[in-house]
Structure 1
């Protein structure tokens, strides 16, 4: 079951154990979760009981001190089940790293235990109705008033937004300073003036709750400031490298799943007295997709190793995020076409993949923004 050259015996055993767990606790219920538009908290708690939530945290806080290879395995195995489990990866590999790097010792003692058990579900609130990839343009404000910040504004497209009870929130503490005036506040459930808006009805990823957040004179203790005031933009830029790498990994996994199921389908389906796989057009399309999958996986393997080594791979991560997600979108259309009419039926997994995959080219920074970053770093902007 090893998928990378850097996986050791313990990683292979971990993947096998996790896959077995998901086949029992997630796969049989996934369609129901999609219909209900929510992953139940009971599943989160089961993940916590098994050690699949925030395993990278130090042992002194109850974690397992796992390396990034475990994060890759969890991300891939969750994606194999379905894209609606993406909130688990967001909790483990996107939000928790902010707390690991910038939280005080007291904050860690307060928040980490619940994050490990599933009692606490995290989210990160950056995007606003008028500010997406341009994070410097956020309008939510936080004004210091004694021992509290008074927060006003709104956020949208927040993954885990309905169920999260700990939300890292980007706000303007100096509205005149643009990106240099952004801070990160940790919003806790029950904060006066904080409420949730609609649970958003998305094209895909139906089981993953996504919502609006509303702050109306929300009263947040100064002790919930994450890191230093007005340093939030720098923190976000630092952490986006891993977030975009995880998006590329999930898109690669989804693409592999699509091609695998399509290969099985065309071998079993017949037309004009022979299998669809025997037609040259089918063969050529599958060969092209398999080649692109190999290229994507090889690129990712190199990036993961460099990321684990602490190297700056922003340019290459931006390349991987944009290229792999675009290829995954193309493959979803090709694989649906090769399924014929059945590919358009919800009972076939390819239909779900077709509607789930497009957002990977949008969140964590659109692919257009990825190309701007690449051009700038190459000195050709």
Structure 2
């Protein structure tokens, strides 16, 4: 009997020790998992190549930072509307893409975390292109770090040029119009034009450098539209005259395409002014097309182009801000940016990375890098949609000859400013 009791007690002790062991193991695993912080990153949909590259970059980050996991979310439709709604509802991601065009409004709403206190000398802030960094500054606070950029440059069809004995791309806008006349071809008996000399894009983002060439402005310092000024009209008149008088330019709808890149790729136009993103598109989709790039021709003896950029920004209500900064600093640091831009689909915002990748010696990309020194940032106040929609609706009407340019722009300016006042008050 005594022997049975001792055996029972031994089994009971062993059982208790087993339970205690499992309990300690559970606590250990729980403690280990609780040390891992998850950061949510949101961006818009992009090409499959870009998506693959970013996912690889995030995997590399996680390997170097085992205590941080990144949950990457793609928002395919109505990106900014979704972000703004989530910011209001306090459900926004920790980090998200922010286009320079949308930055002024969000910077004014106290929803972004200022990054100044996280940035140290080792991060080398001076390495960024100043024009790009300034797009995400407000009252000396830095709210975003630009991840990449593109300026605009002239694309020209080398075969079409050779056919017309044109050797070099046009340097001035007057030369561009002369070239366009030579390059425009009517190969049909019914008078239809087979190929236009130049592809005109009516978007405000592609007309701004013309306005700037005559010292015109899109908005004043208070954010109200000023694109109907006499200076602005001088720049816009260039597009109207070439389209209506010369008849050597075409817009995308004239030739049944969806973009300037497509117009050019399909041979509908011999020249077009587009962004760096056009290079991989042409190489991958139209590998036999012989083309070159050059800086945008000067207008009124002035160099001009546009620059488009996107930054990583931090939600002011992010739960794990130090870890969120670790991710931003990795993605925009020298190593991360080199990985991100080494394929050439985007240009690095750090000068040292551009130099290391030798982009200034790249025959196709050097024009884009040169443009950063005089480019106008694509940023037009806190209510860009109101400015853009009113401008483009009326400018299209003027290009088509439905009303005089001055009348169209005055209508657009008055209506845009009326809508802005409603938003302000």
> Larger relative CO (CA 8 A, sep 6+): 1 or 2?
2
Q: Structures share a fold, TM > 0.5?
A: no
Name which one, 1 or 2, has greater alpha-carbon Rg.
Answer: 2
